[in-house]
């Protein structure tokens, strides 16, 4: 099976969509001649031209507003927000318009647009450019929130997003763009709302998405050397959330650790822990545990930034804390 980077998987899915459907077009800041801030749209302007690859002014509300209008008129815009932090300037267009028009029109006005956004820190971009805000959008009825962690999922979810009638917040992590993985040469899609069990285990369930799904697998490898058999669930999408897969895993392992880069207070990890407590309380042998980013604005200094986001050691310690007699290890974090 051929390998592909996360970046190239997204680009290839976008090319396929544009070649197959003339209504698909791209818009965003520096996506044309510059090729995108993360080089995903490099070469698109030469292939598809200015009408379908539109460089826009630095005006996020206007960009998303124009995309919503185009989608209402039958087009399929794909917006690049450059970073999820900048989407705050377009949150009215996303939450009050894109998310609600299909419902408010009684199903008559779909808004089939995709909003690509880069989330997370780790690149020394400072507090205003390193936030994880995907859980905010996952709370909004009418939006779909895709969070792929592998090239396979990135391609499959983008293909699916380009066929949706609802707006899709397609969340990418900057530290994953160079990640390589196997991607089948044939056609496939990844459905919204279907998590993946990427590693089978019997002692504890570790759930994550985007970068933390990768960290969860690394932690499981380390735990295996200690005789702890961890099962890893990659959420893939936050809305819809595949709670059935998470609960089924917990019913097998009887323990849950949820990992995300976002702040602990009000994090999506809290939502998952509560839902599992409601639906699988009798199956739990320990309280569901969260591993989150620190409740601080992201530091710029590299050494401090490294302390603000979860690492493998944090996950390993949290897993040990769910096992009998080991909670003191996690309490010292």
- How far apart are the C-alpha atoms of 98 and 187, rounded to whole Å? 29
**pLDDT tens-digit readout, 97-124:** 999 999 999 999 999 999 999 999 999 9
Write the pLDDT tens digit of every residue in 201-229.
999 999 999 999 999 999 999 999 999 99
User: Which residues are known to be catalytic?
Assistant: 60, 129
| 171 Cβ neighbours under 8 A, 6+ residues apart | 84, 117, 118, 119, 134, 145, 146, 147, 210
User: What is the Cα–Cα distance from 51 to 178, expressed in whole angstroms?
Assistant: 29
- 314 has a pLDDT exceeding 90: yes
Using a pLDDT cut of 90, give the percent of the chain over it. 96
Reported confidence tier of residue 1, pLDDT bands at 50, 70, 90: confident
* Reported pTM: 0.95
Nearest C-alpha neighbor of 4 from the set 112, 130, 162, 153: 153
Q: Which sequence spans correspond to the domains of the chain? A: 3-182, 196-323
Answer whether CATH 3.40.50.300 is correct for domain 196-323: no
| Same CATH fold assignment for domains 3-182 and 196-323 | yes
Name the strand (E) or helix (H) holding 303: helix 302-308
Question: What architecture is the 3-182 domain classified under in CATH?
Answer: 3-Layer(aba) Sandwich (3.40)
Give the pLDDT band (50/70/90) at residue 333: very low
8 A C-beta contact, residue 309 and residue 261: yes
**Average pLDDT over every residue of 138-161:** 98
């Amino acid at each position: 099976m051929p390998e592909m980077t996360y970046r190239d998987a997204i680009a290839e899915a976008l090319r396929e969509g544009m070649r197959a459907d003339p209504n698909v077009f791209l818009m965003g800041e520096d996506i044309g001649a510059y090729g995108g801030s993360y080089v995903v749209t490099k070469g698109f302007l030469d292939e598809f031209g200015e009408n379908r690859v539109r460089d826009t002014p630095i005006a996020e509300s206007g960009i998303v507003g124009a995309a919503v209008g185009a989608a209402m008129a039958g087009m399929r815009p794909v917006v690049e927000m450059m970073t999820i932090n900048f989407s705050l300037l377009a949150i009215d267009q996303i939450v009050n318009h894109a998310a609600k028009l299909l419902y408010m029109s009684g199903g008559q006005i779909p808004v089939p647009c995709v909003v690509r956004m880069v989330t997370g820190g780790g690149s020394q971009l400072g507090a205003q450019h390193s936030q994880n805000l995907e859980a905010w959008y996952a709370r909004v009825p009418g939006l779909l929130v895709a969070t792929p962690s592998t090239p396979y999922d990135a391609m499959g979810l983008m293909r699916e997003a380009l066929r949706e009638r609802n707006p899709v917040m397609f969340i990418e992590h900057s530290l994953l763009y160079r990640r390589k993985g196997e991607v089948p040469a044939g056609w496939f899609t990844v459905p919204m709302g279907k998590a993946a069990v990427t590693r089978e285990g019997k002692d504890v369930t570790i759930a994550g998405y985007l970068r933390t799904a990768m960290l969860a697998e690394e932690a499981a490898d380390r735990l295996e050397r200690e005789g702890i058999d961890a099962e890893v669930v990659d959420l893939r999408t936050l809305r819809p959330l595949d709670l059935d897969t998470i609960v089924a895993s917990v019913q097998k392992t009887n323990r849950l650790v949820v990992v995300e880069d976002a702040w602990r207070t009000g994090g999506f990890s809290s939502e998952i822990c509560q839902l599992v407590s409601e639906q699988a309380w009798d199956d739990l042998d320990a309280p569901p545990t969260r591993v989150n980013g620190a409740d601080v604005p992201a530091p710029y200094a590299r050494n401090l930034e490294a302390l603000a986001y979860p690492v493998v050691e944090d996950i390993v310690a949290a897993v040990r804390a769910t096992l009998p007699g080991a909670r003191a290890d996690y309490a010292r974090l």
